[in-house]
């Protein structure tokens, strides 16, 4: 794998809990999932953070409730440790 790819941030959104259903790999900030990845706007139920720290926002343009996530598996966004409303993520931003 090229060195540049190893440093690239990555988060994977899943349509259903426990990493089921459609999924989307994201490598950069997304101010409006409805505009660019409509299948996942307010429809994300589980997440894998592959690389980097990301901020998840309830509303588009990085507004509303915010939750920071680090590399880990999050099989249910409505459960610990995220405790977000299921299907509520509308934008996300790479932090570091």
Kindly report, residue by residue over 7-41, the tens digit of the pLDDT. 799 999 999 999 999 999 999 999 999 887 777 88
Answer positive or negative: Cα dihedral of 64, 22, 47, 18. Answer: positive
Structure confidence at residue 49 (pLDDT): 98
Q: What is the mean pLDDT of residues 42-57?
A: 95
Which single residue is written with the structure tokens 């099989």?
75
User: Is the pLDDT confidence value at 2 over 60?
Assistant: no
Domain with residue 45: its CATH number is 2.60.20.10
Domain hosting residue 51, numbered range: 3-94
Domains in the chain, number: 1
Query: Considering the entire predicted model, what is its pTM?
Result: 0.88
**Helix or strand (DSSP H, E) at 5:** helix 3-7
CA 40 – CA 62 distance, rounded (Å):
15
- Among the listed residues 72, 41, 73, the one whose alpha carbon sits nearest the alpha carbon of residue 57: 41
């Amino acid at each position: 794998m090229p060195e540049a790819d190893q440093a690239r941030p990555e988060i994977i959104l899943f349509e259903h809990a426990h990493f089921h259903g459609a999924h989307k790999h994201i490598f950069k900030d997304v101010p409006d999932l409805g505009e660019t990845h409509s299948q996942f706007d307010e429809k994300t139920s589980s997440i894998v953070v592959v690389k980097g720290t990301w901020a998840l926002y309830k509303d588009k343009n990085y507004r509303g409730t915010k939750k920071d996530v680090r590399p880990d598996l999050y099989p249910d966004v409505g459960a610990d440790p995220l405790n977000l409303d299921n299907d509520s993520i509308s934008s996300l931003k790479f932090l570091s």
